[in-house]
């Protein structure tokens, strides 16, 4: 039995060396905090190891780690009761609103916004994150992504339009504005 445990330890040590940096980068992009990302990285490996998943190779370990990391990041934001999409910009805590109706509307808005962003094409999601949520200048977005200035403008516009259309009835007055 100890041989299995040693082999398991070696497997997970190798998995950490191979996949730890990319899982950490993924978690940092989701949490926007190195400290939180590092805690979630540790929790990701602990949970996967405890689950005792039958993973014959590192390729399957990577997918399992990313799935677990994604779920932990989502749960982190749910526990915080703040949407990860607004954490860097609008500092609104759903629990601090005045009425149950307002809390319900905000929660619905944040949940739909998260789903909308997950459903966007990667370029549009990146454009929305950098241009709208992070409030970067178009030139800075172009430098970071390698897109032309015209492509940045197009991607930000299209992402904004899709998000606003998707939020429609949840926006103040239920209007769709672009």
C-alpha closest to that of 92 among 73, 108, 106, 79:
106
Domain 2-80 has CATH 1.10.1740: yes
Task: Write down the pLDDT at residue 158.
Answer: 94
Residue 98, classed as helix, strand or coil, is: coil
Domain limits, the chain? 2-80, 94-174
The pTM of this model reads 0.44
Q: What is the pLDDT along the chain (178 residues), one digit of tens a residue?
A: 332 333 467 888 888 999 999 999 999 988 888 888 999 999 898 888 877 666 666 667 888 898 889 888 887 776 654 444 444 444 444 445 457 777 777 778 888 888 888 888 989 988 988 888 778 889 988 888 889 999 999 999 999 999 888 888 776 655 444 4
- Using an 8 Å Cβ cutoff, are 73 and 40 in contact? yes
What are the phi and psi torsion angles at 148 (to 5°)?
Answer: -70, 160
State the fold for domain 94-174. Arc Repressor Mutant, subunit A (1.10.10)
Please tell me if the domain spanning 2-80 has the same topology as the one spanning 94-174.
Answer: no
CB 81 within 8 A of CB 94: yes
């Amino acid at each position: 039995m100890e041989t299995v445990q040693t082999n398991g330890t070696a497997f997970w040590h190798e998995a950490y060396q191979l996949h730890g940096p990319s899982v950490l980068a993924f978690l940092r992009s989701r949490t926007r905090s190195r400290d939180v990302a590092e805690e979630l990285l540790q929790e990701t490996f602990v949970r996967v190891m405890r689950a005792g998943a039958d993973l014959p190779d590192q390729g399957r370990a990577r997918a399992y780690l990313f799935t677990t990391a994604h779920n932990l990041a989502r749960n982190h934001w749910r526990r915080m009761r703040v949407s990860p999409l607004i954490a860097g910009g609008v500092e609104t805590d759903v629990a601090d609103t005045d009425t149950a109706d307002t809390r319900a509307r905000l929660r619905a808005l944040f949940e739909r916004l998260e789903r909308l962003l997950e459903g966007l094409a990667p370029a549009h999601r990146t454009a929305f994150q950098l241009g709208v949520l992070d409030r970067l200048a178009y030139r800075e977005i172009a430098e970071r992504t390698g897109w032309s200035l015209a492509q940045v403008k197009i991607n930000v516009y299209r992402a904004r339009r899709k998000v606003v259309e998707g939020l429609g009835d949840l926006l103040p007055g239920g209007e769709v504005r672009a």
